[in-house]
Structure 1
């Protein structure tokens, strides 16, 4: 018989792998649709809805495997592991895509991002000197380096930890303390 901890890790790893593959496929679809689609905020946000749904399914699966009960800690472990693994796979894929497979796409993304920043600053009525300074700083930064990618992954792990806490609090169900006391 497997212990709940081993099962929780297995469920988290399985659903993390499923989530990572789903995120990679979704990213590939956006990439193949073109730069405007890839950079569309609403469509990009949808990938987070997908991984949250998969993480919830992982928690529910773990709960079923535990006979309908799941401690907060076990729920948190399963859901967070799902997020961490899925986003790690997605992050590595994006890094390879933008730094080795299609650097031209990355450069076009940088150009479009600069245009959007400039347009936004102009709409806000920022002084020309501030716009030029912001454009110069943004243009010189390498937002696709390994260190920036790793930093982004770390920040997302913090956000996913918070989301995992919320999900775990919702799906947990403690076993009653006297569940078997009167059945003997």
Structure 2
């Protein structure tokens, strides 16, 4: 009988697992924010960033636990980026579904709120219409998913650059 060897975890396996968890938690937070707060620019929106940071740190910890305490900087960067990409995709798909099927009037309310804010700043109607027209092009339909994913990957990469510097533990060369 041959001994079984448990393979070490890969960055992608840990990243996907934690990305799905982060995506579901972000979707739940989105439900809370979209249903309780009229203005999308509340301080509550930063809770999602905290969730992403905690998720990346926990994913790094789990990877190191499964790999005998070792994780290179590149592996940490990859894990964090994968966590962010998967979490961003899940969260963006939820946002698309919410704004398209559950509450299609949501974007209209947001645009009206933005118009009021721009009028309070003293912008004229032509400038406001141009800004809102541009925003509407990029915030409608599947573009929500595309820009949500791009934003999540970009921010996750930046956050992972910093977190990986602290959580890395490279394997000694002569082991």
Q: Normalising to structure 1: TM-score of the pair?
A: 0.82
Larger radius of gyration: 1
Distance, in Å, in 1 between the alignment partners of 2:174 and 2:46 is 45
5 Å-filtered alignment, 1:19-168, equals: 19-36=22-39, 39-119=40-120, 121-122=121-122, 130-141=123-134, 142=136, 143-147=139-143, 149-168=145-164
2: CA distance, partners of 1:65 / 1:14: 14
Classify 1:105/1:151 alpha carbon distance in 2 versus 1 (closer, same or farther; 3 Å): closer
| Separation (CA, whole Å) in 1 of partners of 2:153 and 2:119 | 30
Task: Provide structure 2 residue ranges, at least 5 long, that are not aligned to the other structure.
Answer: none
Aligned length: 168
Q: TM-score normalised to the size of structure 2?
A: 0.85
Contact 1:35/1:105, CA 8 A, preserved across alignment: no
Contact conserved, 2:80 with 2:156, CA < 8 A, in 1?
A: no
